[in-house]
């Protein structure tokens, strides 16, 4: 008895408990899962790069093998993920059979993105496996991404405005067909070949800026739009949040940190949504502390995290002040949990942003004044709370 009590108060016990709690939370947090399905070099990594803003090295290191033929990339980290990308690498290997991947991903994957180079017509294997995937769950959306459009018009800039490809039956439009017959014949052939195997068609050309295309994310906006549509409503918000929050940022530090902050905030929101009072009492500080340490490590300044946490503690930012309010709110059934989730999520978000503010100032050689830090935190919190509440309401309406 005494041992158990002692254990309860030691850090190790708390650490292990937090870990199991986080695992559980990750399962409950709505993380969109994209199953990327396509041959080698057909543009899968470009799509991940475009959607996340991560660079090649990050993506390369982030991938973890999950089946014999596949790997997965949890963005931004496996601890507090926002998006999950499953990449089927084995499609080019002899005797690849998607059965093993299906067994693993079928329940998991929300959207299948099939990448096909627009001029590649050697697709026998892709088609055969895709039919199996389609048959297994016909209602799961499949996005057919036709990539590398520029290969159809070598050494030329993109000759059409992006909007051309959003018109219905654009490939039959004689104006465009006459200009680049090869491209549109190819697209028509793909449409016929994949008939009944896709729900959205996205012609696309994501090129590295060094290639010199005037529009390096050609068709990218359309892809994002399609993905938001294709995702189940509960999973849309993450993508939208990522787009909205990172898009406006000028500061590179913050831009890089934001997906991480969003990831931890989502976890915190899940924790807050548990409709039992006081359960998240130790989980939330745990999540927030881990986020700050993680961000500090990300910036290569582990010590700055510690100093910031001390400061935040004395200022009453984040977990402490709001804690009691949150737990009280939870006594109100249903609505309570949503408000709890919104509060937990937005305090975590605001705390993360406050750390970025702090770090950025320290980096410039000045310790920010406490009242400035507090004001910044309050601003972020107010904005985040508002956004979170809206999101939760949307979800509740969308998925009662």
Query: Contact with another protein (CB under 8 A): which of 80, 98, 126, 145?
Result: 126
Query: Contact with another protein (CB under 8 A): which of 4, 10, 139, 155?
Result: 155
Binding part of the chain for another protein, among 53-61, 118-126, 306-314, 376-384 by CB under 8 A, reads 118-126
Q: What residues from 41 to 70 belong to the interface with another protein (CB under 8 A)?
A: 41-42
Q: What residues from 339 to 378 belong to the interface with another protein (CB under 8 A)?
A: none
Pick 148 or 270: Cβ nearer another protein: 148
Whether the link from the prior residue into 93 is cis, omega within 30° of 0, is no
Considering the rule CB under 8 A, would residue 120 count as an interface residue with another protein? yes
What's the Cα-to-Cα distance from 270 to each of 81, 202, 311, 343, rounded to whole Å?
13, 33, 26, 11
Pick 91 or 309: Cβ nearer another protein: 91
Pick 70 or 380: Cβ nearer another protein: 70
Pick 104 or 158: Cβ nearer another protein: 158
Pick 120 or 199: Cβ nearer another protein: 120
Q: What residues from 303 to 322 belong to the interface with another protein (CB under 8 A)?
A: none
Considering the rule CB under 8 A, would residue 151 count as an interface residue with another protein? yes
Phi and psi (nearest 5°) for 278?
Answer: 70, -10
Give min distance, CB of 164 to another protein, in A.
20
d(C-alpha 19, C-alpha 79), whole Å:
10
Beta strands in 82-199 (DSSP E): 83-88, 111-117, 142-147
Q: Which residues pair with 87 in a beta bridge?
A: 36, 71
CB 145 within 8 A of CB 120: no
Give min distance, CB of 72 to another protein, in A.
21
Q: What are 291's two structure tokens?
A: 């986020």
Query: Contact with another protein (CB under 8 A): which of 156, 185, 310, 393?
Result: 156
What secondary structure letter does DSSP report for 369? P
CB 343 within 8 A of CB 325: yes
Considering the rule CB under 8 A, would residue 121 count as an interface residue with another protein? yes
Closest Cα to residue 217, out of 201, 203, 202, 206?
Answer: 206
Binding letters toward another protein, positions 176-215, x by CB under 8 A: -------------------------------xx-xxxx--
Give min distance, CB of 196 to another protein, in A.
19
Pick 100 or 379: Cβ nearer another protein: 100
Q: Which residues pair with 63 in a beta bridge?
A: 73
Phi and psi (nearest 5°) for 35?
Answer: -100, 110
Beta strands in 204-288 (DSSP E): 205-206, 217-218
CB neighbours of residue 309 within 10 Å: 20
Considering the rule CB under 8 A, would residue 26 count as an interface residue with another protein? no
Query: Contact with another protein (CB under 8 A): which of 125, 255, 289, 301?
Result: 125
Pick 44 or 353: Cβ nearer another protein: 44
d(C-alpha 209, C-alpha 216), whole Å:
6
CB 274 within 8 A of CB 280: yes
d(C-alpha 41, C-alpha 346), whole Å:
39
Binding letters toward another protein, positions 71-110, x by CB under 8 A: --------------------xxxx----------------
What's the Cα-to-Cα distance from 242 to each of 247, 262, 395, rounded to whole Å?
8, 8, 17
In sequence order, what are the residues at sequence separation of 6 or more whose Cβ sits closer than 8 angstroms to the Cβ of residue 61?
A: none
Pick 211 or 371: Cβ nearer another protein: 211
Give min distance, CB of 41 to another protein, in A.
5
Query: Contact with another protein (CB under 8 A): which of 1, 122, 252, 276?
Result: 122
Q: Which residues pair with 70 in a beta bridge?
A: 88
Pick 92 or 162: Cβ nearer another protein: 92
User: Which residue ranges make up the site for another protein (CB under 8 A)?
Assistant: 39-42, 91-94, 117, 119-126, 128, 148, 150-151, 154-157, 207-208, 210-213
């Amino acid at each position: 008895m005494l041992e158990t009590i002692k254990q309860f108060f030691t850090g190790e016990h708390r650490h292990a408990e937090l870990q199991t709690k986080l695992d559980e939370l990750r399962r409950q947090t709505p993380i969109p899962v994209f199953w990327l399905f396509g041959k080698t070099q057909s543009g899968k990594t470009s799509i991940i790069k475009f959607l996340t803003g991560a660079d090649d090295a990050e993506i390369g290191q982030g991938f973890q093998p999950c089946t014999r033929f596949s790997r997965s990339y949890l963005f931004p980290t496996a601890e507090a993920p926002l998006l999950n990308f499953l990449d089927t690498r084995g499609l080019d290997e002899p005797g690849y059979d998607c059965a093993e991947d299906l067994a693993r991903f079928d329940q998991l994957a929300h959207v299948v993105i099939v990448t096909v180079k627009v001029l590649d017509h050697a697709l026998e294997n892709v088609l055969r496996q895709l039919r199996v995937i389609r048959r297994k769950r016909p209602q799961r959306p499949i996005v057919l991404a036709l990539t590398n459009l520029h290969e159809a018009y070598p050494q030329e800039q993109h000759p059409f405005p992006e909007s051309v490809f959003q018109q219905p039956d654009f490939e039959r439009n004689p104006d465009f067909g006459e200009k680049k017959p090869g491209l549109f014949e190819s697209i028509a052939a793909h449409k016929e070949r994949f008939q009944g195997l896709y729900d959205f068609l996205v012609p696309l050309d994501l090129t590295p800026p060094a290639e010199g295309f005037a529009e390096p994310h050609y068709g990218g906006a359309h892809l994002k739009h399609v993905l938001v549509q294709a995702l189940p409503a509960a999973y849309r918000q993450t993508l939208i949040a990522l787009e909205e929050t990172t898009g406006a940022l000028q500061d590179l530090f913050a831009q890089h940190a934001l997906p991480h902050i969003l990831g931890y905030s989502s976890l915190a929101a899940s924790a807050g949504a548990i409709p039992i009072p006081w359960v998240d009492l130790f989980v939330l500080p745990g999540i927030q502390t881990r986020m700050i340490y993680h961000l500090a490590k990300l910036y290569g300044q582990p010590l700055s995290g510690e100093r910031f946490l001390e400061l935040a503690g004395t200022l009453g930012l984040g977990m402490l002040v709001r804690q009691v309010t949150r737990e009280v709110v939870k006594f109100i059934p249903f609505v309570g949990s949503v408000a709890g989730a919104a509060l937990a999520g937005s305090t975590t978000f605001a705390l993360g942003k406050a750390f970025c503010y702090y770090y950025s100032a320290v980096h410039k050689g000045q310790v920010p004044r406490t009242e400035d830090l507090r004001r910044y935190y309050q601003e972020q919190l107010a904005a985040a709370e508002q956004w979170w509440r809206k999101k939760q309401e949307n979800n509740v309406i969308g998925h009662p």
